[in-house]
């Protein structure tokens, strides 16, 4: 049996964030300095700095999220990006203690996944806001946005006309830029300094370096199944959403040879992550082999969905400015053998700059047995993929699904959160099928699990 000696083996129940602290409304932060947001295309926006007092380069993107700036900034998918918030006031409810076990929802089935937010630190390279609120009010607040960014060495700029910036980025697309602080604010960077983070393997920065296992409430003996997760930069709420379903989750590095240990798990989950899906060719090859040979369910979110597409021969392209926000509508094209209503529009949380190409004919036509599952109701980009041949009666193919949006909703709407329950139910179904003798009438035979 495959055993992991985990650097973090968690099974204790989460405790409330309010247990040992008083209400905080202010925390010390570095004195603001003159700052400028300068784009490679020549435009500039002047303001004042907050957070870390140094300059930074990155890809300038925007999010339409009205709330949950703490969850957005700790989302590993924002690695290497200068994140502009279109909401005019940011920081008004402060930042919680991210070392507190649990989550903002205080779900009874939550266990400690290593952080309170979506990862242990601020993931964005820089932060752009119109108005920064330095005094805050929230029962879970621990410090200000400015002091939090300073502790994590992330610079920010306030006083930017984010409406004008957003219009600019929508018109010309996501643009390389720099937040220049202090004396740097008076210089014009050379074009060679604007390096595109999407050309790097950002996933290697944020993925776990060693495998680890987290068990649900009740420990390993209470787990209904074992799910493996390839970590491309997973959000903590993906782990929480799986653990709430009563399964144990083993998290592997992005380039781990999953197929060497796959039969010791009941399902595979592919996480979100930053950058280009083409930057991780080894993971694409691993998933292609899994899809072709394995007899158990596979589910992917965001980057995970793109990896599924590339693994079956599809093409991923870089979008003009991406879809980032907590209010993105998607249209369901089919149920996908889940509790999805075909023809219904779901409101979703999204953060992606790449999408899968689709055409009914030509080089972007999809292979037989696969079809789009969801499309974006604003720009008609592909928002989901499903293996239709696996849904046919007596099919010998295992089901595979991928969604470009975030059903774990941290933050954002909860419309598609039931997909986690659906996925685990399919994992349990295929696990039960493997325990049924091959000669049982009316049941498709499945290979025995080697545990």
| 246: CB partners within 8 A, 6+ apart | 109, 216, 217, 218, 222, 223, 224, 424
Establish whether 152 is a catalytic residue. no
- Please give the structure tokens belonging to residue 77: 């998918």
Q: How far apart are CA 225 and CA 248, in angstroms?
A: 6
Establish whether 439 is a catalytic residue. no
Q: Helix H segments across 253-353? A: 281-293, 303-311
Q: How far apart are CA 375 and CA 150, in angstroms?
A: 39
Residue pair 105/134 in contact by the 8 Å Cβ criterion = no
List the catalytic residue out of 71, 302, 352, 409: 302
List the catalytic residue out of 326, 352, 406, 409: 406
Q: How far from chain centre, in Å, is Cα 347?
A: 17
> For 239-315, where are the E strands, in sequence order?
248-252, 267-270, 298-301
Establish whether 406 is a catalytic residue. yes
List the catalytic residue out of 59, 118, 408, 409: 408
Candidates 349, 424, 337; CA nearest to 109 is 424
Q: How far apart are CA 331 and CA 383, in angstroms?
A: 9
Just list the catalytic residues. Answer: 302, 406, 408
């Amino acid at each position: 049996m495959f055993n992991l000696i985990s650097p973090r083996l968690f099974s204790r129940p989460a405790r409330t964030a309010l247990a040992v602290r008083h209400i905080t409304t202010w925390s010390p932060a570095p004195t603001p300095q003159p700052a400028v947001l300068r784009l490679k295309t020549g435009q500039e926006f002047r303001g004042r700095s907050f957070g870390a007092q140094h300059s930074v380069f990155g890809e300038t993107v925007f999010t339409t999220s009205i709330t949950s700036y703490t969850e957005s900034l700790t989302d590993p998918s924002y690695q290497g990006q200068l994140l502009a918030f279109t909401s005019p006031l940011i920081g008004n409810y402060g930042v919680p203690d991210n070392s507190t076990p649990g989550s903002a929802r205080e779900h009874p089935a939550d266990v400690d996944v290593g952080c309170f937010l979506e990862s242990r630190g601020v993931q964005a390279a820089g932060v752009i806001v119109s108005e920064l609120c330095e005094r805050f009010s929230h029962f879970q607040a621990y410090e200000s946005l400015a002091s939090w960014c300073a502790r994590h060495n992330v610079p920010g700029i306030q006083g930017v006309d984010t409406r004008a910036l957003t219009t600019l980025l929508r018109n010309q697309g996501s643009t390389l830029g720099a937040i220049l602080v202090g004396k740097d604010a008076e210089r014009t960077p050379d074009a060679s300094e604007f390096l595109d983070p999407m050309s790097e393997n950002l996933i290697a920065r944020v993925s776990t370096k060693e495998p680890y296992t987290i068990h649900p409430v009740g420990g390993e003996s209470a787990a209904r199944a074992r799910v493996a997760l390839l970590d491309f930069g997973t959000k903590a709420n993906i782990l929480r959403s799986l653990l709430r379903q009563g399964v144990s989750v083993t998290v592997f590095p992005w380039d781990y040879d999953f197929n060497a240990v796959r039969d010791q798990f009941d399902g595979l989950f592919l996480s979100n992550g930053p950058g280009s899906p083409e930057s991780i060719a080894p993971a694409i090859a691993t998933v292609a082999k899994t899809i072709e040979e394995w007899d158990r369910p596979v589910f992917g979110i965001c980057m995970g969905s793109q990896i599924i597409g590339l693994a079956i021969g599809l093409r991923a392209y870089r979008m003009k400015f991406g879809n980032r926000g907590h209010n993105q509508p998607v249209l369901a094209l089919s149920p996908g053998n889940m509790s999805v209503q075909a023809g219904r529009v779901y409101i979703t949380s999204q953060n992606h700059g790449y999408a899968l190409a689709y055409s009914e004919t030509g080089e972007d036509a999809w292979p037989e047995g696969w079809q789009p599952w969801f499309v974006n109701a604003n720009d008609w980009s592909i928002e989901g993929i499903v293996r239709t041949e696996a849904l046919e009666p007596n099919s010998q193919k295992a089901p595979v699904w991928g969604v470009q949006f975030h059903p774990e909703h941290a933050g954002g709407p909860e419309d598609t959160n039931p997909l986690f329950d659906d996925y685990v139910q399919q994992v349990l179904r295929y696990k039960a099928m493997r325990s049924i003798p091959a000669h049982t009438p009316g049941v498709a035979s499945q290979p025995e699990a080697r545990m």
